[in-house]
Amino acid sequence: MDQTPNVEGLDEIEGEVIHLDGGTVETVEAVTVRIQQGGANRVLATDVELNTAAAGRVDTESLVAQSSAIVAARGDEIATERSALGAVIAQDARVHASNVGLVAADTVQVEHSRVVVLLARELHGDVEAVLDTRGAALVGLLAGAVLGLAFLGGSLLLRRKS
């Protein structure tokens, strides 16, 4: 196992199994990545475990995040507990006691969590969604109409001035 204790500001770490215990790194690429009280801007791995950690973007097959913060996560199976995520795109997402901006998945299981935008084929659990699939479609239509009118008005004003 490749252990990287107390690294700070490394550009890239590669290996089979990476265990980052504290410190930060720009990019981690491995089969298995475990980050404990550390951070990475980008993680590319088959299996990722984050515990009290932070990550910018995580691309993985399987992610387990506990008490962590992630900007964007994409994978087959993503599970979070007591974490904050900007966006989750997955086949199967399990969100427990977490706050997420966007969840887009085939199957979503939510317990005691807040999700701003939720797009799912199948939903299990109680969720406090600010915007669901129907609401997202309505917001998209309204935003498109407003932008269309703004561009139309702008082009009419430009024609008048010339």
Three-class DSSP category at 68: coil
Q: What is the mean pLDDT of residues 114-136?
A: 82
Residue listed under structure tokens 């795109």: 89
pLDDT reading at 162 higher than 70: no
Please give the backbone phi and psi of residue 82, each rounded to the nearest 5 degrees, phi first.
50, 50
pLDDT reading at 85 higher than 90: yes
- Within 10 Å of residue 116's Cβ, how many Cβ atoms? 16
Lowest mean pLDDT among 23-27, 76-80, 125-129: 125-129
pLDDT reading at 14 higher than 70: yes
Q: What is the mean pLDDT of residues 55-74?
A: 97
pLDDT reading at 101 higher than 70: yes
Residue listed under structure tokens 């309505």: 138
pLDDT reading at 129 higher than 70: no
Which residues lie closer than 8 Å to 150 by C-beta, 6 or more apart? Answer: none
Q: What is the mean pLDDT of the chain?
A: 89
pLDDT reading at 133 higher than 80: no
Please give the backbone phi and psi of residue 97, each rounded to the nearest 5 degrees, phi first.
50, 45
Buried b (16+ CB within 10 A) or exposed e, 54-77: bbbbbbbebbbbbbbbbbbbebeb
pLDDT reading at 1 higher than 60: no
The pTM (predicted TM-score) of the whole model is: 0.76
Query: What pLDDT score does 8 carry?
Result: 57
pLDDT reading at 147 higher than 80: yes
Query: What pLDDT score does 9 carry?
Result: 56
Q: What is the mean pLDDT of residues 17-35?
A: 94
